[in-house]
Amino acid sequence: MTSFITTINSRARTAAFKPQKGGQRGTTNWQLRQFAEATLGSGSLKKAVKLPEGEDEAEWLAVNVVDFYNQINLLYGSITEFCSPQSCPEMKATEEFEYLWQDNENYKKPTKMPAPEYIEHLMAWVQSNIDNEQMFPSRIGVPFPRTFRPLVLQIFKRLYRVYAHIYCHHYPVVINLGLEPHLNTSFKHYVLFVEEHGLATGRDFWGPLGDLVENMLKSE
């Protein structure tokens, strides 16, 4: 994944959201991340998404939430100059799929906003949850709360919307920047992880990218 991060970082704005929770050497979090990097390096995405034998599923989900957050953050950071309130006044995938922001704090009702503003709120919301030790405990032996999995489902659902927006509105830019292989690999990794761990919420989860997802799953 090193070339992936180096390539995209060269295009990302310096104001991109900070990477999070790599885990300290010797901790379970760190060990799981090393396993994930090793399996990704092997070229087998199908193997990379599986829960390592004997490991806790909540720990594995937490590690991958952080990794997908960082991947999507870098991917979107590489095309932010092409995604503005003027070019993307709504947070949409296709015309049938518009996403409204709600966080039950500053936006208690679903609120229409430009794509870059929506994505900024989304990333900040994911960041705040990752930083919350009560939801994402980093210390060994501290259990995950009962509300952890429902939160993970919501995070994956919302992160998907960034992939959908990039594919539907900025794919020509992605191709011109030479980032198509990185986007496709990242999204396929995401799709396989969601399918492996039952994180798709509802039959219409894949919506605007349904055909692409189906082809990715068939190719495996």
Domain that holds residue 59: 2-11+45-219
The yes-or-no verdict on residue 41 having pLDDT over 60 is: no
Is residue 143 in a domain? yes
Query: Looking at the domain assignment, is residue 19 inside a domain?
Result: no
Compare 204 and 100 and report the one with higher pLDDT. 100
pLDDT given for residue 17 in this prediction: 43
pLDDT mean across residues, the chain: 83
pLDDT tens digits, one per residue of 128-185: 999 999 999 988 889 999 999 999 999 999 999 999 999 999 999 999 999 999 999 9
Please check whether residue 27 lies inside any domain of the structure: no
Separation CA 187–CA 176 (nearest Å): 18
Instruction: Work out the pLDDT band at 43, boundaries 50, 70, 90.
Output: low
**Per-residue pLDDT at 203:** 66
Residue 172 forms part of a structural domain: yes
Is the residue at 133 inside a domain? Answer: yes
Q: With respect to residue 158, please indicate whether it lies within any of the assigned structural domains.
A: yes
pLDDT exceeds cutoff 70 at 118:
yes
User: Residue 42 — very low, low, confident or very high, per pLDDT cuts 50/70/90?
Assistant: very low
In the prediction, which pLDDT does 208 show? 92
CATH number at 100 reads 1.20.140.30
pLDDT of residue 40 exceeding 70: no
Q: Return binding residues.
A: 83, 88, 165, 170
Residues tagged in the binding site annotation for Zn(2+): 83, 88, 165, 170
The structural domain count of the chain equals 1
Residue 178 lies in a domain: yes
Does position 15 have pLDDT exceeding 70, yes or no? no
Least confident of 16-30, 57-71, 195-209: 16-30
Is it the case that residue 20 has pLDDT exceeding 90? no
Note the pLDDT of residue 129.
Answer: 96
40 inside domain = no
